Amino acid sequence: MNGVGFIGAIIIGIFAGWIAEQIMGRNHGLITNLIVGLVGALIGAFLASMFNIHFFGWIGSLLVSTVGAVVLLWILGLFSGPRRI
């Protein structure tokens, strides 16, 4: 997360985790969204650098973090088995 600061990273992590949760149809709490968003930011930044994509500021960080969080939830879904309703 380029240039957003510590508090900004936390806010972006929560929003990215929440957006990924909505996209993937999950239901988590605030802390889980924060963790998913922050780990997703690491995954998203890795993927962005791998594909030579540059991002800046709040919006770029949010987009990259959300993509990484969706990838993280997708990978975790592969290992969790079938979901019961």
Predicted structure pTM score: 0.87
The boundaries of the domain holding residue 54 are 5-80
pLDDT tens per residue across span 9-46: 889 999 999 999 999 988 888 999 999 999 999 999 89
Amino acid at 34: L
Pairwise CA distance, residues 19 & 56, whole Å: 19
Asked if residue 57 belongs to a domain, the reply is yes
Asked if residue 85 belongs to a domain, the reply is no
Q: How many domains does the chain have?
A: 1
Asked if residue 32 belongs to a domain, the reply is yes
Contact between 4 and 12 under an 8 Å Cβ cutoff? The reply is yes
pLDDT at residue 85 above 60? no
| Angle between helical axes of 30-50 and 5-24 (0-180°, round to 10) | 100
Secondary structure E strands in 1-85: none
Percent of the chain that is helix, strand, coil (3-state, to 5): 75, 0, 25
